[in-house]
Amino acid sequence: MTDRIVLAYSGGLDTSVAIGWIGEATGAEVIAVAVDVGQGGESLEDVRQRALACGAVEAYVADARDEFANDYAMPTLKANALYQGHYPLVSAISRPVIVKHLVKAAREFGATTVAHGCTGKGNDQVRFEVGIQTLGPDLKCIAPVRDLALTRDKAIAFAEDKGLPIETTKKNPYSIDQNVWGRAVETGYLEDIWNAPTKDIYDYTATPEFPPAPDEVIISFKQGVPVAIDGHAVTPLQAIQELNRRAGAQGVGRIDVVEDRLVGIKSREIYEAPGAMALITAHKHLEDITIEREQARFKATVGQRWSELVYDGQWFSPLKRSLDAFIEDTQKYVSGDIRMTLHGGAAIVNGRRSETSLYDFDLATYDTGDTFDQSQAKGFIELWGMSSKVASTRDQRLAGS
């Protein structure tokens, strides 16, 4: 029986050429796997037909938009995940759901190998291959660009020679990856980190310099998940899409960062994540009134480590699974409403309410009705500072010896 290889297929030049390139290099049949995570563009059926026209023996397509929003974006939201404090893991969280479908397709079609279109320089090769190794330990992995010398000029020549139904004449200077959680742009003139981004690289966000009138929105959460916007029930996918539209119109969610890649180099990235950044902002403010202080402090540490694991391709790791359990436990009381104003590139929270809030007006107020017993503060301060006081006394005593 002829070996079969499943290929993560985007429908673009490189992966379309990879179908025939892999076939010629290995003698295997290629099954194209296309997964819709809200990247927009062509229909899955159009992508499927192109894969078959380019030589795939089968084409597996999956509408995973709700799956991606529910099972990947929502855990990211609950973790308030921002890698290095900036990046909401746009590409990093889409790879595990694609991996899941690649392994599923490999089982369905009897493939022994999984292929992806990543280079040997980025993070995605690790995310794909570590995920595949974890979910399908018996499966092998190849990367045509990295392992089979499929460069862009060779891809264009191959497509023209074979008459493949794919555009080969236009060369976008950027590398772009997008899904419903956000959009990532890199390479080209952006590689000079002194160069400012030009307006043409943005798609999800309007310029914040000339915004429309301020847009006030109320986001309702139940146990950390958005369930309504302005009183209208929404699914997680609908919440992200609605805030992509409204926050994007105000220029919210533009991120320009030099980040530390897993492979050891620094890389300049431009991200657009209007819905993700608006939701993370709202969610964090709701946590501020519903999560106990020490739990919240520790959760910030857990969230940072969670972000690093996911960025580094460890979505399916035991540690990630354990951190998920802690984060999920913290969300028990994260329910309520957040009011925010979207305007001029900013998402500003100006109202909070929750039946599970830990904010006590009578304890917080300085006016009549204050129930906080201020007479207890003096003794508390003495005890709180005792260890430092004792240590300082020793230090001063021995300073001159």
Q: Is 275 annotated as a binding residue?
A: no
Catalytic residue among 48, 95, 246, 254: 95
Q: Name the amino acid, one letter, at 195.
A: N
Q: SS3 of 374, please?
A: helix
Residues 6+ apart with CB under 8 A from 138: 112
Q: Is 95 among the residues known to form the active site?
A: yes
Structure tokens at 62: 């999956």
How far, in Å, CA of 227 to CA of 231, rounded?
9
Q: Is 230 among the residues known to form the active site?
A: no
Of the candidates 239, 240, 221, 228, which has an alpha carbon nearest to the alpha carbon of residue 333? Answer: 221
Structure tokens at 114: 């999984």
Q: Is 87 annotated as a binding residue?
A: yes
Q: Is 268 among the residues known to form the active site?
A: no
Which residues make beta-bridge pairs with 229? Answer: 219, 232
How far, in Å, CA of 35 to CA of 16, rounded?
15
Q: Is 127 annotated as a binding residue?
A: yes
Are the C-beta atoms of residues 367 and 309 closer than 8 Å to each other?
A: no
Q: Is 123 annotated as a binding residue?
A: yes
With residue 270 as reference, give the H or E element that holds it: strand 266-272
Per-residue H/E/C for 120-172: CCCCHHHHHHHHHHHHCCCCEEECHHHHCCCCHHHHHHHHHHHCCCCCCCCCC
CA dihedral (343, 347, 349, 354) positive or negative: positive
Q: Is 259 annotated as a binding residue?
A: yes
Q: Is 329 annotated as a binding residue?
A: no
Structure tokens at 325: 């359990």
Are the C-beta atoms of residues 34 and 7 closer than 8 Å to each other?
A: no
Q: SS3 of 33, please?
A: strand
Centre a 10 Å sphere on the Cβ of residue 323 and count the other Cβ atoms it contains. Answer: 20
Q: Is 117 annotated as a binding residue?
A: yes
Catalytic residue among 4, 14, 50, 65: 14
How far, in Å, CA of 274 to CA of 248, rounded?
5
Q: Is 341 annotated as a binding residue?
A: no
DSSP state of 182: E
Catalytic residue among 4, 65, 94, 124: 124
Residues in the chain: 401
Catalytic residue among 175, 317, 354, 357: 175
- Side by side, the strands of the sheet bearing 113-115 are 58-63, 29-36, 4-8, 113-115, 140-142
Residues belonging to the binding site are 8-16, 87, 117, 119, 123-124, 127, 175, 259, 271
Residues belonging to the binding site for ATP are 8-16, 117
Residues belonging to the binding site for L-citrulline are 87, 123, 127, 175, 259, 271
Give the active site residues: 14, 95, 124, 175
Residues belonging to the binding site for L-aspartate are 119, 123-124
